[in-house]
Amino acid sequence: MFELTDQIYQAVLTLDDDYRQFFCLQKCQEQGSLYLLKEPGAEGMPLMLSDEPEEGDDETMSHTFLPIWCHPQFVTYYQEHAANQDVKNYELLELKLDLFRDKWAPSLAQNGIVLALMPLDADKNFTLCRATIFSEPDAAKTAAAEAQQSDQLTEADKAALKGQAK
């Protein structure tokens, strides 16, 4: 686990979800592990978040998320600020990145579950990322490129729709 000074901790808490995404991915990859919450007990299920599909969502859009964090202190912060009071009883689980990449990520991807990167409070303000992102040599850089490509597609889609409306 990396050393988290109070100054860095406070700074990360003020970052928007995009910057937290890159911080989380980078730190998880550097330290070779990630953190999540699971129900109490040896066989406890991991915490999953979900939302309801909205009008206009396509069928490939995921609505189930596995929240992950890069440091236990951020997990504790989330537990203290989560709307779901049951989360306070969940246990911290550290997963080595090799295990996550080899065993968890393929199953998550197959089931349409994506990662929720560093949620911090009840408003569910976090960035989503594909479960297989840690297969990339530089997960943070790849996520940034994918986000940029997605933004460009969105703008292209808007322009195409605008052109069709004329």
For residue 162, the one-letter residue type is K
Vertex 160, ends 157 and 166: CA angle to 5°?
145
Instruction: Check residue 166 and give its pLDDT.
Output: 46
Q: For residues 91 and 36, what is the distance between their CA atoms, to the nearest angstrom? A: 8
* Strand bridging mode 127-129 / 113-117: antiparallel
Instruction: Check residue 157 and give its pLDDT.
Output: 56
- Tell me the three state secondary structure of residue 127: strand
Q: For residues 120 and 66, what is the distance between their CA atoms, to the nearest angstrom? A: 14
The pTM assigned to this predicted structure is: 0.84
Task: List the one residue out of 43, 41, 64, 44 whose CA is nearest residue 52.
Answer: 64
156 vs 11, more confident? 11
Query: Which pLDDT tens digit goes with each residue over 112-143?
Result: 999 999 998 865 678 889 999 999 999 999 99
Query: Which pLDDT tens digit goes with each residue over 14-24?
Result: 998 889 999 99
The answer to whether the beta carbons of residues 129 and 54 sit under 8 Å apart is no
The radius of gyration of the chain from alpha carbons, rounded to an integer in Å, stands at: 17
Based on the number of CB atoms within 10 Å of its own CB, is 34 exposed (0-12), middle (13-18) or buried (19 or more)? buried
Task: List the one residue out of 63, 53, 73 whose CA is nearest residue 128.
Answer: 63
Q: For residues 99 and 109, what is the distance between their CA atoms, to the nearest angstrom? A: 15
CB atoms within 10 A of CB 45: 9
